[in-house]
Structure 1
Amino acid sequence: MPRKWSSTLLCTALLATLGVAHAAGEDALPGAKPRSMQEILDASKPGDWRTPDAKNLIYLDLDSGRVLIELAPAFAPAHVANIRALAKNGYWNGMSVNRSQDNFVVQWGDPAQEDKDRKPLGRGTKAKLPAEFARKAQGLAFDKLPDVDGWAPEVGFVGGFPAGRDPAADTAWLAHCYGAVGAGRDVAADSSNGTELYVVTGQSPRQLDRNITVVGRVLQGMELLSVLPRGTGPLGFYEQPSQRVPIKSIRLASELPKKERTSIEVLRTDTPLFNELVEARRNRRDEWYKHMAGHIDLCNVPLPTRAPPAKPVAEPKAKAKAKAKPRSARAGRAGSTSRK
C-alpha cells in the first residue's frame, strides 16, 4: 500500500457427522413444510437473541445517520482497548471518511498526510500496537458451518462474528466479510494503532484474512456507508477535501446516557434456531427456486439484528369493587340531601 489504509444440502448422514443440528427442513421434519427465514425469525424466543455489551459498541454518527459497530476484544484486545480510549477522547470527532473504493472498502481517520500534522491520540492510548491477525483457537466456542471453505480449513462463528479456524495449527481469525471493520496499516505488520479504520463494502476480500487486524463488524447502518460516493483518487481516496464525508462523532455506547443509546439485539449463532436459518439459506425450498445449492459461503450467512420488542405493559391490579352496604333508612335520611 502506498500509504496507510488512511484504508455464509449435504445428506443427513453427513450433517450428523459434522455435528450440525438442523431444526427444520425436509430431513429434520419429515412431511412438514420448511420454514422461510422470516418465519424462523418470527418464531424466535427471547433466548435466541443477545444484547451487545455497551462497552464493545461504538456509534459512528454521520449527518445521514448512525452506524453501530460491535468490537471484538476476544480477537483484537490491544486494538479494541485503543479504540475505546480514542473514542473516549473524542479523537475522531470532526474528522472524515476519506476513502470509498468501489467493491472494496470505506475508510475514515485523520486526513493529514504527514505525521507532524496529525491529531494527538490523547490519554490512555498507545502509539504502537502488536499485529492481531489471529489467535489461539483453543477455548473458543466455535459454531461451525457444514460446508467447505476456500480460505480456511473450517469456518463458522465466534460470538456472532464470522471466523475461520485451523484446528491443526490451533489458530482462529475473523473473516473479511461484508461489514467487517479492520484497522489499516503500512507494510510492517505492527504498524497499525487503530486510528484508521475501514469497513468492507464490497465482495468479501478474504485474501486479507490474517493479513490485517479485524477489530469488529457493523451491526446496523451499512447502507449509510455503502452508498457513499466513490473516490476518484488511487485506491478510492477522495482527492479534494470537499469530497470527504464529515464525521460528527464516534463514541462508546457505554459513555452515553441510556436514553441516547440505540437499542439493538443480535441473533445468537449458537442455537438450533440459527442452524435452521442457515439451512434455510443453504437450500432455498420456496417455490421460486428450481435448484437447491446445498452450500453456503461464510460471508453469505445472514446475521439478523432487531430492535428489542416492546415489553408488555403490566396491567394495573384490578381494584376490588367496593360493595355498597345497604344503608338503613335512618342513615339514608341522615346523610342525604333532598332534591325535591
Structure 2
Amino acid sequence: MKRIALPLALLVLSGQAPAPPPAPKVLAPSEIVAAAPAADWVAIEASDLLVMDLAPDRDGNKRRVVIQLMPPPFSQGWVGNIRKLAAARFWDATSINRVQDNYVVQWGDANAEDKAKAKGLPPGLAKVSQSDYAIDFSKVRSWHTVSTVKSSQRSPRSYSPVDGKNDVSSDAYAWQTEIANGWPVGTDTETVWPVHCYGMVGVGRDMPPDTGTGAELYTVIGHAPRHLDRNIALVGRVIAGIEHLSSLPRGTGPLGFYEKPEQREGIVAVRLGNEVADLPRYQYLSTESASFARYAAARANRRDAFFIHPAGGADICNIPVPVRKVP
C-alpha cells in the first residue's frame, strides 16, 4: 500500500492531479446501426418488394432497383394496382422517361398518351379516390410509433430527441411528423399520411381529380419535395439500387422528360420479389427498438469526432430508416 500511496501523495504535493479517464467514444449513427442486435431488425417479406431490372449499363453491368411497397393501411388501392401491373408484366420493355435534377426519376409506358401505341392496362385496376392520400388516425392507432411526445415549441421545428424520447415536432408541412412502423409520416389532429423523403416512390397522375393507376411511377432523387404530400399517392421506397436512378442523365425537355426515344433508359422487367429467385433478404431497423432511438438521437445531435456543433434537431427526412441486406 505504501508503494501506491507515496507517488499519489507526491503528485498532490507537487500540484499535479491524476489524469482523468478518457471520455467514452461517441458513436456515429452508422456505428450504432452496425452494433444493433439481431433482435432489433425486422424482415421485409419478399412479396412486399418490387424488383425493377434496367438494361445493363454501357459496361455491361446489371442494374437492379428494389422497392419496398407501402404497408396497410396506406395507399392500398394503388399498391393493389401495382401488384396487378407487375403480375401482368406491364413494365417489361418500358422505360425511364423523365429525370429532373434535384426532383424525380419517372418511369412507365412512354407511349401512354398515344392510343395506337400504348400498352394496354390489365383489367381490374382500382380507381382510387383523392381522399386516400391521407387516412383517418383511428386506422393506425394500433401502430407503435417512435414519436410519443406532442409538438414542442423548440426551434427549429424538427425531429428533436427530448429526455430520452424521440419527439418529432411540427414542421412546415405537417402539425407533427413521426416515424411509424418504419415509415415517415405527417399528421394533423385527424389524419396521417406518408411523406416525400429521398427515395420514396409515388404514382404519376394527370390533373385532379385523376389520381393515377400506378402504371406511371416516380422516385425522389433530390431535396424532399414535401409540398407533394397529400397531393400524390406514395406507394413505397427504394431500398436498394437508388444509384442506378439518381445518376442517370438529366432530361432536357420540360420537367426533365427525355426529348428523344433513344435517350430513354430501358426497363427489362419488373417483378414482385417472391418471383425473383436470386433476390437477397432485406431487413429494416425496427423503429420501436432502443437501437433506433439511439440512432435517431445521434442523427439529430451529431457529437462524433467530425462534428463541432450538434444541430439540436433534424428534419424527418434526415432520419432515414436503416435497411440492410442479409445472407
TM-score range, shorter chain: 0.7 to 0.9
Q: CA deviation at 1:124?
A: 4.2
SS of equivalent residue, structure 1 residue 280: helix
Question: 8 Å contact 1:102–1:230 — kept in the other structure?
Answer: yes
What's the CA shift string for 1:175-222, capped at 9, x where partnerless?
A: 000001000111113341110000000110000000001111111111
1:228 maps to 2:240: no
Between stretches 220-229 and 54-63, larger displacement belongs to 54-63
Question: 8 Å contact 1:101–1:235 — kept in the other structure?
Answer: yes
Q: CA deviation at 1:147?
A: 4.0
* Aligned counterparts of 1:204 and 1:71: Cα–Cα separation in 2: 19
Distance 1:93 1:61, change over 3 A: same
1:136 matched residue in structure 2: 136
Between stretches 200-209 and 112-121, larger displacement belongs to 112-121
Q: CA deviation at 1:33?
A: 4.2
* Aligned counterparts of 2:115 and 2:193: Cα–Cα separation in 1: 31
2:67 matched residue in structure 1: 69
* Aligned counterparts of 2:139 and 2:38: Cα–Cα separation in 1: 26
The amino acid across from 2:228 in the alignment is: L
The amino acid across from 1:162 in the alignment is: P
SS of equivalent residue, structure 1 residue 264: strand
Question: 8 Å contact 2:26–2:305 — kept in the other structure?
Answer: no
1:217 matched residue in structure 2: 237
State the structure with more CA Rg. 1
Match of 2:36 among 14, 23, 44: 44
TM-score, reference length from structure 1: 0.77
1:327 matched residue in structure 2: none
1:53 maps to 2:45: yes
Match of 1:195 among 193, 215, 225: 215
1:314 matched residue in structure 2: none
CA RMSD of aligned residues (A): 1.6
1:281 matched residue in structure 2: 299
1:182 matched residue in structure 2: 202
Aligned positions of 1:114-125 closer than 5 A? 114-125=114-125
Aligned positions of 1:232-311 closer than 5 A? 232-256=252-276, 259-308=277-326, 310=327
Question: 8 Å contact 1:50–1:267 — kept in the other structure?
Answer: yes
Question: 8 Å contact 1:88–1:255 — kept in the other structure?
Answer: no
Number of residue pairs matched by the alignment: 274
Match of 1:163 among 174, 182, 185: 185
Distance 1:121 1:209, change over 3 A: same
The amino acid across from 1:41 in the alignment is: V
Question: 8 Å contact 1:99–1:106 — kept in the other structure?
Answer: yes
Match of 2:224 among 204, 207, 210: 204
Unmatched segments (≥5 aa) in structure 2: 1-22, 57-61, 148-158, 160-166
Question: 8 Å contact 1:89–1:123 — kept in the other structure?
Answer: no
Question: 8 Å contact 2:43–2:284 — kept in the other structure?
Answer: yes
SS of equivalent residue, structure 2 residue 262: helix
Question: 8 Å contact 2:203–2:232 — kept in the other structure?
Answer: yes
Question: 8 Å contact 1:60–1:67 — kept in the other structure?
Answer: yes
* Aligned counterparts of 2:229 and 2:181: Cα–Cα separation in 1: 18
What's the CA shift string for 1:59-94, capped at 9, x where partnerless?
A: 011124111101114211110000001001100000
Question: 8 Å contact 1:147–1:295 — kept in the other structure?
Answer: no
* Aligned counterparts of 2:46 and 2:34: Cα–Cα separation in 1: 26
What's the CA shift string for 1:305-326, capped at 9, x where partnerless?
A: 2122x5xxxxxxxxxxxxxxxx
Higher strand share: 2
